[in-house]
Chains A and B, each alone.
Chain A
Amino acid sequence: MKVTVVVNGQERSAEVEPRLLLVHLLRDRLGLTGTHIGCDTTSCGACTVLLDGTPVKSCTMFAVQADGREVTTVEGLAANGKLHPIQEGFKEEHGLQCGFCTPGMLLASKALLEENPDPSEEEIRWALSGNLCRCTGYQNIVNAVQWTARKLQSDSATTGAS
């Protein structure tokens, strides 16, 4: 079957079997290897992407289900060579070590901040409880999200954006 998905703003098409998982479409057919696979039981969240802006586990969706929809992967965060504030936040606050869970964490965090621009530590831990990390112990990830929240607020104050 043919699927057409808008990935990071670009329309991409491929001829796929229905059983091809969305994560395999992204990694193997479209060459976007930033989305990772960490388990077989939908437990770890390393494969998290945004589907029409909402975090989903791309290993637990078929590519055909994304036909006609928009997908954002980690490769779609930076724009024109400039890091997205959430990426800056993770760097500033040492929110990553091996980097394997990081793409999923970034996207889940971005979605959280869009819904809740000033989340408390509890709210962040709750929102990220679908993304496993073995390296960091999560504390710096929480700090990274809060750093980003402050940056986004001060950026919008500076630009006068509402």
Chain B
Amino acid sequence: MYPASFDYLVPATLEEALETLGRYEDDAKVLAGGQSLIPLMKLRLAAPRALVDINRLPGLDTLAEENGGLRIGALVRHKTCERSDLLGGRWGTLGAAAPLISDPIIRNLGTVCGSLAHADPQGDWGSALLAMDAEVVTRGPDGTRTIPVGELFEGPFMTTLAPTEIITEVRVPDPGPVAGGTYLKLERKVGDFATVGVAVHLSMADGRVGRAGIALTAVGPTNLRATAAEEALTGSELTDGAIREAARLAAEAAQPYSDTRGSADYKRTVVRVFTERGLRAAAEAVGAPVPPAGQGEPVTTGEALEATERHDYFSGQGTVGGVMDELGDKPGGPDGGER
């Protein structure tokens, strides 16, 4: 509850920030949202000698489309993404992830780039941005470089960033005119880390999958791309069989471990289920819906059912079938709501 002491610096320019980081070598941390860093400092699991507060640096809060791609600056907060009209449609994967980060108050301060720099394998942005083939732009003592998100994460809470390097923005490439996706998260309650998360993105080309992005949260040492699943879909038509196969491959790519949230087998199953549901939602988003083949089979057999009047017990809105839809209609709710 009480952090250790540190020096607090508020640079006026990015150059000054870099210079300050350099002065402290590897013992200073960048402070943006602080919603991951400060909790660690309060538990004394982190005790940097200095914090470099970049919140007052100008020009780092861009959230905009540029040349068909997307730029998310270092000071763009989760809440800005949640509220933005921009992050639907082709950017649907990101728009679905944004409301599911942590809780609504933390989303007011936490940043997308800060989340990537933190590299928590249970973090949601990592998967959403992996699925969309994003890269980060950094500034360091040697200048500017770009790092694909897939090469950013090295291990749990470990990145390929130098301690004296700052992520200035994320760039997401143009997914093409027909694209869409979603993010599904299973969490035990709002604010819990994901038990499992799956980001799905589809870029279509002439009615077939041009590029698929499937990335997994909380089932590996970092956010993982389900590469085999993506490749199986590339060039394919979207069919029920293709979706189920991709889901199966995604589950295989997962590396979950058993813990209080569930067994490894359970988590693998959720990867499969979410990948399948996510791909169906993405397929619908790109105008090529793929409903499940066959009706749900009865779970009892041979019982004659008397005709009864249907009543809307559950949602006040209709039938039991409507309820299952309603489960999916929650606005990115923590029950893994689909968009």
Chains A and B directly touch (beta carbon < 8 Å): yes
Q: CB distance B104 to A127 under 8 Å?
A: yes
Contacts A42-B106, A130-B104 supplied; 10 other A-B pairs, CB < 8 Å: A19-B4, A40-B42, A41-B39, A45-B103, A48-B105, A60-B35, A60-B109, A65-B55, A108-B105, A126-B333
In chain A, what residue has the closest Cβ to B39? A42
Chain A, residues 117-131, CB within 8 Å of chain B (1/0): the string is 000001000111111
A57: CB under 8 A from chain B? yes
Q: CB distance B331 to A126 under 8 Å?
A: yes
Q: How many residues on A have C-beta within 8 angstroms of the other chain's C-beta atoms?
A: 30
The one of A18, A54, A64, A127 that contacts B5, using a Cβ cutoff of 8 Å? A18
Kindly list chain B residues whose C-beta atoms are within 8 Å of the C-beta of A21: 3, 42
Which interface residue of A37, A59, A126, A131 has the most chain B CB atoms within 10 A? A126
* 3 closest A-B pairs by CB: A18-B8, A130-B103, A130-B105
B108: CB under 8 A from chain A? yes
Expressed in whole angstroms, the Cα–Cα distance for A48 and B106 within the complex equals 10
Kindly list chain B residues whose C-beta atoms are within 8 Å of the C-beta of A122: 330-331
A43: CB under 8 A from chain B? yes
Q: List 25 A-B contacts (CB under 8 A).
A: A18-B7, A18-B8, A18-B51, A19-B3, A19-B4, A19-B6, A41-B43, A42-B38, A42-B106, A45-B105, A54-B108, A56-B105, A56-B108, A56-B109, A57-B106, A59-B1, A59-B42, A62-B51, A64-B8, A65-B31, A108-B105, A126-B333, A128-B104, A129-B190, A130-B105
In the complex, chain A residues 19-50 whose Cβ is within 8 Å of any chain B Cβ: 19, 21, 37, 40-43, 45, 48
| Secondary structure call for the B interface | loop
Chain B, residues 8-45, CB within 8 Å of chain A (1/0): the string is 10000000000000000000000100110011001100
Kindly list chain B residues whose C-beta atoms are within 8 Å of the C-beta of A127: 104
In chain A, what residue has the closest Cβ to B7? A18
Expressed in whole angstroms, the Cα–Cα distance for A42 and B4 within the complex equals 17
Q: CB distance A129 to B109 under 8 Å?
A: no
B53: CB under 8 A from chain A? yes
In the complex, chain A residues 97-126 whose Cβ is within 8 Å of any chain B Cβ: 108, 122, 126
Tier of interface size on chain B: 20 to 34
Q: CB distance B34 to A60 under 8 Å?
A: yes
- Tell me the total A-B contact number using a CB cutoff of 8 A: 79
Expressed in whole angstroms, the Cα–Cα distance for A18 and B51 within the complex equals 9
Expressed in whole angstroms, the Cα–Cα distance for A57 and B190 within the complex equals 16
B69: CB under 8 A from chain A? no
The one of B38, B191, B333 that contacts A130, using a Cβ cutoff of 8 Å? B191
Which interface residue of A41, A64, A129 has the most chain B CB atoms within 10 A? A129
Expressed in whole angstroms, the Cα–Cα distance for A135 and B7 within the complex equals 41
Kindly list chain A residues whose C-beta atoms are within 8 Å of the C-beta of B1: 37, 40, 59
In the complex, chain B residues 83-106 whose Cβ is within 8 Å of any chain A Cβ: 103-106
Chain B, residues 251-277, CB within 8 Å of chain A (1/0): the string is 000000000000000000000000000
Expressed in whole angstroms, the Cα–Cα distance for A129 and B101 within the complex equals 12
Expressed in whole angstroms, the Cα–Cα distance for A41 and B109 within the complex equals 16
A83: CB under 8 A from chain B? no
Shortest A89–chain B CB gap in Å is 20
Q: CB distance B8 to A130 under 8 Å?
A: no
A95: CB under 8 A from chain B? no
A61: CB under 8 A from chain B? yes
Q: CB distance B8 to A43 under 8 Å?
A: no
Chain B, residues 217-254, CB within 8 Å of chain A (1/0): the string is 00000000000000000000000000000000000000
Contacts A40-B43, A43-B191, A61-B34 known; A1 to B8 CB distance under 8 Å?
A: yes
Q: CB distance B109 to A61 under 8 Å?
A: yes
Expressed in whole angstroms, the Cα–Cα distance for A151 and B8 within the complex equals 45
Kindly list chain B residues whose C-beta atoms are within 8 Å of the C-beta of A54: 108
In chain A, what residue has the closest Cβ to B55? A65
The one of B8, B43, B105 that contacts A57, using a Cβ cutoff of 8 Å? B105
The one of B53, B108, B333 that contacts A65, using a Cβ cutoff of 8 Å? B53
Expressed in whole angstroms, the Cα–Cα distance for A55 and B4 within the complex equals 26
Shortest B55–chain A CB gap in Å is 7
Shortest B3–chain A CB gap in Å is 5
Kindly list chain A residues whose C-beta atoms are within 8 Å of the C-beta of B108: 54-56
Kindly list chain A residues whose C-beta atoms are within 8 Å of the C-beta of B42: 21, 40, 59-60
Expressed in whole angstroms, the Cα–Cα distance for A60 and B110 within the complex equals 11
The one of A1, A37, A108, A130 that contacts B190, using a Cβ cutoff of 8 Å? A130
Kindly list chain A residues whose C-beta atoms are within 8 Å of the C-beta of B333: 126
Q: CB distance A42 to B104 under 8 Å?
A: no
A75: CB under 8 A from chain B? no
